């Protein structure tokens, strides 16, 4: 098999890939048996000329050795990331995985492939029921605290853009994660797209299919089941309490709890060593998607999917501000999970065909901003969410950017039409944040206007509060990925070891392999 890198094709000629490869290799198209796309990205550095850039694996019907002649054409073998462990650990009691987000699901999947049948407990409902609760919340504002955007089967990422891009460098396990998503209903483009996403509408189906696959492999799911206490003897986990009344025995507990399980984290702090970690808070900003796409791609935007962006800035005071969880063609959603507190997020469906682009613009904060006690970061998040709820009387507070800059309440929309899931009201968003956050956001948006024309337009829509960018706490684990209590494994975003769907799923695989490879004691032997 031959791998060819840096294959460039004009975006208007996307269907000409086979012809382009034949031209590069100086062969006939009939000599090509199969083409597999490894990577696809967009090169927009020379607008108006825009190119797709591919890395492809090609199987030929003729001898391949004659074509290996430069750094961009090389011979490769098929790659596979093996999740099967030689002589995996034997379990006296079934492992229990807390949560059902990507970290939990891929931990369970890896265990199942090795003949282990875990129990997955989830405080929320299965996806079909959860979706009904979320839609009802958008319509009425009636919050169910264990069934919402944050809690329920699939985790917080289920009602999001389904973005799969990650900064974690571990391509083999990442590829395995994507392959499972495709097997369970995601579009195969996620296997090669430089900015892969599934979309909220498709992700709901994918999560259901993963659940059914895991059940067929021996996993037991227990929904509406909240971890409420640990039973520990001689610094080893022996049982867990659920729903404050029932007990489940186990000697292996994976904590894939998600970043919004604040009550669970507080309970766990009675037993496990933890530390603070920095995070970021800010607003969501909406622009017309056409404006963003034209800026990114010029007139060629008509031939491409809706464009995204990634923006960073360091303020004059040295504070970091950046775009986060950018959703092309999407909506801003009410992502609250606690009564009397309001948080927002962004989402897009698979086609990303809504009129607006939205992104969080967030400011990095650390213990020097909110205090050095373990839960001060959580208290800071809750304080912002409570202010936001009161400011909007339970509705999402929004403002035109011009009015946000001028510290006043908006009265009318202009050309940017609001796209929200959940009810909104005009308010002075300056009242939500400490002054350093307001000033940092405004300074950054003005700078971003020099990078994307119109980013700082007067009628861009600002909404608050984006407070759940990541966990404010990390549960410590050692080189074997074990917490300060034997048999307990912190995992994923809520434990402080991931930052999105893909990295959480990869951490789930990593934890499962560590557990399966764990040395057995002589007693276990």
Task: Report the chain (525 residues): mean pLDDT per 10 consecutive residues.
Answer: 91 84 91 92 91 93 78 79 88 97 97 97 97 97 96 92 75 88 96 93 96 98 98 98 98 96 97 97 98 95 94 97 96 97 96 97 97 97 98 98 98 96 98 98 98 98 97 97 98 94 95 87 42
**pLDDT the model gives residue 242:** 98
CA distance 443 to 447: 6
In 3D space, the residue among 109, 155, 102, 161 whose CA is nearest the CA of residue 506 turns out to be 102
**pLDDT the model gives residue 170:** 55
Do 191 and 178 form a contact (C-beta atoms < 8 A)?
Answer: yes
- Which 3 state secondary structure label does DSSP give 449? coil
How many Å separate Cα 279 from the centre of its chain? Answer: 15
Tell me yes or no: is domain 96-275+471-516 CATH 3.50.50.60: yes
**pLDDT the model gives residue 521:** 41
- The pTM (predicted TM-score) of the whole model is 0.94
CATH architecture of the domain 2-75 equals: 2-Layer Sandwich (3.30)
**pLDDT the model gives residue 427:** 98
Name beta bridge partners: 424: 396
Decide: residue 522, CB within 10 A, 0-12 exposed, 13-18 middle, 19+ buried: exposed
Do 205 and 183 form a contact (C-beta atoms < 8 A)?
Answer: no
E strand or H helix that includes residue 262: helix 262-268
- The boundaries of every CATH 3.50.50.60 domain in the chain are 96-275+471-516
Do 269 and 374 form a contact (C-beta atoms < 8 A)?
Answer: yes
Do 332 and 466 form a contact (C-beta atoms < 8 A)?
Answer: no
- The boundaries of every CATH 3.30.70.2700 domain in the chain are 2-75
């Amino acid at each position: 098999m031959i791998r060819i890198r840096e294959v460039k094709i004009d975006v208007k000629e996307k269907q000409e890939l086979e012809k382009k490869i034949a031209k590069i290799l100086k062969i006939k198209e009939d000599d090509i048996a199969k083409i597999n796309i490894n990577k696809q990205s967009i090169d927009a550095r020379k607008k108006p000329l825009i190119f797709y850039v591919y890395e492809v694996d090609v199987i030929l019907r003729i001898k391949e050795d004659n074509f290996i002649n430069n750094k961009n054409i090389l011979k490769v073998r098929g790659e596979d990331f093996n999740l099967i462990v030689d002589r995996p650990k034997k379990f006296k009691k079934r492992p229990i995985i807390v949560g059902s987000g990507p970290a939990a699901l891929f931990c369970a999947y890896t265990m199942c492939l090795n003949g282990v049948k875990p129990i997955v407990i989830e405080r929320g409902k299965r996806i079909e029921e959860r979706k009904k609760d979320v839609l009802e919340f958008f319509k009425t504002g009636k919050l169910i605290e264990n069934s919402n955007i944050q809690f329920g089967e699939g985790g917080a990422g289920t009602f999001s853009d389904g973005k799969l891009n990650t900064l974690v460098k571990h391509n083999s396990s990442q590829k395995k994660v994507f392959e499972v998503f495709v097997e369970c209903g995601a579009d195969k483009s996620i296997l090669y797209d430089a900015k892969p996403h599934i979309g909220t509408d498709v992700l709901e189906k994918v999560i259901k299919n993963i659940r059914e696959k895991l059940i067929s492999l021996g996993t037991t799911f227990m929904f509406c089941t909240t971890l409420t206490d640990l039973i520990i003897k001689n610094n080893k986990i022996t049982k867990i309490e659920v729903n404050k009344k029932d007990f489940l025995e186990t000697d292996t507990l994976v904590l894939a709890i998600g970043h919004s399980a604040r009550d669970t984290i507080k309970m766990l702090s009675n037993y496990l060593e933890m530390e603070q970690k920095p995070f970021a808070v800010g607003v969501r900003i909406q622009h017309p998607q056409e404006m963003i796409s034209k800026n990114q791609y010029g007139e060629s935007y008509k031939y491409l999917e809706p464009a995204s962006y990634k923006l960073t800035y360091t303020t004059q005071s040295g504070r970091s501000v950046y775009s986060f969880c950018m959703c092309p063609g999407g909506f801003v959603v009410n992502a609250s999970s606690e009564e009397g507190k309001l948080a927002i997020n962004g989402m897009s469906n698979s086609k990303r065909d809504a009129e607006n682009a939205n992104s969080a613009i967030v400011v990095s904060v650390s213990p020097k901003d909110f205090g050095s006690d373990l839960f001060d970061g959580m208290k800071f998040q809750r304080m912002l969410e409570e202010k936001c709820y009161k400011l909007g009387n339970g509705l999402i507070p929004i403002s035109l950017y011009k009015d946000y800059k001028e510290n006043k309440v908006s009265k009318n929309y202009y050309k940017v039409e609001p796209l929200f899931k959940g009810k909104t009201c005009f308010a002075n968003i300056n009242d939500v944040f400490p002054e350093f956050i307001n000033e940092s956001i405004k300074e950054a948006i003005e700078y971003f206007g020099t990078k994307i024309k119109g980013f700082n337009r007067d009628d861009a829509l600002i909404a608050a509060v984006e407070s759940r960018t990541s966990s404010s706490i990390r549960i410590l684990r050692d080189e074997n990925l074990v917490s300060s209590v034997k048999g307990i494994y912190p995992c994923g975003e809520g434990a402080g070891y991931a930052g999105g769907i893909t990295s959480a799923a990869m951490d789930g695989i990593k934890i499962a392999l560590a557990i399966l490879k764990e040395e057995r004691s002589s007693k276990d032997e």
